[in-house]
Amino acid sequence: MNAPVSIGMDRQLFLDDFWIDHAKVVERRLHQPVPREIAIASEKPWEGRGVCYMVAFPDGDGYRGWYRCDPPGGEVDAGSITAYAVSNDGIHWEKPEVGALEFEGSTDNNLVWTGPGINFAPFRDENPDAPDNERYKSIVRDKKVLLALASPDGLHWHKMQEEPVLTNGPFDTLNIPFWDTWRGEYVMYVRGLAGGTTPEKREHDIGIWKETYRWIRRTSSPDFINWGPMEVVDPGGAPYEDLYTNSCVQYERAPGTYLMFPSRFIAARSLDPDWSTPGLSDIVFMSSRDGINFDRSFMEAFVRPGLDFSNWHERGIYMERGVLQTSPEEISLFGMEHKDLPTMRIRRYSLRTDGFVSMNAGFDGGEFTTHTMRFEGSELELNYSTSAVGSVRVEIQDADGNALPGFSLEDCPEKFGDEIEDVMAWNSGANLGDLAGTPVRLRVALKDADLYAFRFR
């Protein structure tokens, strides 16, 4: 990287190696979310065969969620319907009586869509040109095609047209549409296929997947009706794997950042001898700066099946769609577990704010230097965590790597503690206003510490 990158006051994460010019005894480390309480349980008559595929986002003064239900006695997939939940804090969820649709002769339920189509994936449309009666939009899968839906309130839905908007499947997953605020167009991440195969895959997998991998495609649209060609998501130099349910989101705290949490399927492994179908699943982490080229630095799991044996079977866990800020220090994600069991449910996970990946150094310490950047603002904000003996220090350099007077490591008192948005200071103070707009580098020294993010403000 040669030309300085203009970052304004946007927050920068270490999800990939984009910022790292030189590093010594430090590494980027993936952090796993912590399983918390059950958010949505299978407890209503229309949820008798389980709940999954939740889509949640902040809306108004609270949070809203939509999720799939499989009523008892019906055919899985073909008989699936969509229910609605609300939360004041993104943690504790309620199922209000919407009164929009009947179930077994009564409208005393929280159902908002009973077909045609399943795997409901709604979003609030921030397109300034969207009409009020289409302020919410969704995609559903109707057998082998995708239908477009719209709603004025997220509760009462109608088809935007009778004809499907996409027919070039496969689409048998939760296909994720949204208004891309950075691209200024609608995008959708859908099921696809890519890559070759292996002898092991041919032996253990089924159907067309013996010869290729389950993968992810992206398409875009100016109007949510006419969609462009499918592009296969590019994992760079990482190998293809069988990935389901991409759960793609824009991470709003770091503009320009796209995150995915696909469920990885391993056809050749089984742990439960009583389970009828072979395979195991976990959840992985992917990130992108343009929405099509996704970094797969971390091949290890983001979420493991864990101690709960009911998750140790094929497609046992999926990550749902939504990253919610549930406190200044915490973000929440949601995952389906116990798939195809009577206890199938949706659990909340928590993660430190911005805490997906950190630059980490151990007790002996280490350091790294960034590429050149231009910033706006007058203060440097850090998200970091140290031990009682750990520390963070920052040097500001010119474009050639020379420490600027007053901003060397020697001029920087150690920071220690645990902070989400802490201002860095030097012996001369914290004001960097005179450096705004000029090319600079950061040299960061860490000791028994994690640095998750930085930004100028």
Model confidence pLDDT, tens digit, residues 353-411: 999 999 999 999 999 999 999 999 999 999 999 999 999 999 999 999 999 999 999 99
**Spatial CB neighbours of 308, under 8 Å, sequence gap ≥ 6:** 337, 338
Is 1 a residue whose pLDDT tops 60? no
End-to-end CA distance of the chain: 24
∠ at Cα 306 (304, 309), nearest 5°? 125
Q: How many C-beta atoms lie closer than 10 Å to residue 290's C-beta?
A: 11
pLDDT at 251: 98
CA 168 to chain centre: 25
Cα(138)–Cα(9) distance, rounded to whole angstroms? 33
Per-residue CA distances from 206 to 213, 241, 381 (Å):
11, 15, 50
Q: Could you tell me the CATH superfamily of domain 5-31+357-456?
A: Galactose-binding domain-like (2.60.120.260)
* Cβ proximity of 378 and 396 under 8 Å: no
Q: pLDDT band for position 2 (50/70/90)? A: confident
Q: Is the pLDDT of residue 77 over 80?
A: no
Report how far residue 433's alpha carbon sits from residue 198's, in angstroms, rounded to the nearest whole number.
56
Sorted by where each begins, the domain ranges of the chain are: 5-31+357-456, 34-352
Over residues 421-445, the mean pLDDT reads 97
Q: Is 2.115.10.20 the CATH number for 34-352? A: yes
